[in-house]
Structure 1
């Protein structure tokens, strides 16, 4: 006997699906609920073989992940999947999170029973439309991993982002400072802006020019 739990927000839909499931030999709907919190209380002590999760359920992904953690042996089926483009990413996330099969919203209720039997036999039922969505997701190019580029004036192992205020910051703990001895000084007359080690004759003076000589 295949024990089944149904999670769907609409009571009329749950009642109709319960009649179809219970009329099938070898299948038994042991519980149904409209929310994830109710489902957790029903599923944990029963350990059903298959859980049907309607894609119209509020907080779908948190419910799905909670079911996956609490009953890892239960096969999860996503039902009521609509043809909207907005649900394509949700289908991919659900498949990555452990949902073993999907049934479109426009499929007859009896098709869900066939999907239940396949899931209980460790197979993955899936309609052609949903299979296309999953294949397109597999064909997406991988997202490149962005790595920090080291700044040429920072020591090895550090980058500009790791400096609290970046190059040119003021004094204080963690502030960037130029290497010792690389300060720029001017030669007499202020005509040279090179380093004091540029090789020109004459003693270096400070960068601030003095008063002009009298004529």
Structure 2
């Protein structure tokens, strides 16, 4: 990691981003990307642009084709990890593998009712479950986990406080019943200031 004038060089001579950060330190705040991890991710991206089967099946009109690519994706993650990579299933990774965008996946979940929509929900839940287990074991940084769950799984980081009004007379009373409960005169035991004057 070379520094010039206290600035970290973030890009190589061809303009490609390096894994260096101004505020975070390698080994303390993040682990370096290993070559086998990068290679597995690059192969997945290349597959999207070079494999004619991915390009051809991009719309996944049939649910069976869509389910098949889900299984292929998880097989790919498992095989890559068996070979030494540390890949984590995620929504964007699946979309890249399947040759679709994240927006397309979300659109299909809304516009393809029934089993197709439920399958996408099941896929997202399976991915969320994997990531949650890793996060609970400290394998995913909390901020990365929280941001990902907000963006891909519908979670929010806000606290909501709901105040329910309480009606001391009850909610189901008719106007006549309410009128009966209101005192007609002031009770004797309530002190009244008889010397009060508005002119004071």
Structure possessing the higher radius of gyration over alpha carbons: 1
> Does TM, normalized by the shorter one, top 0.5?
no
More helix by share: 2
Length-normalised TM-score, structure 1: 0.29
Length-normalised TM-score, structure 2: 0.31
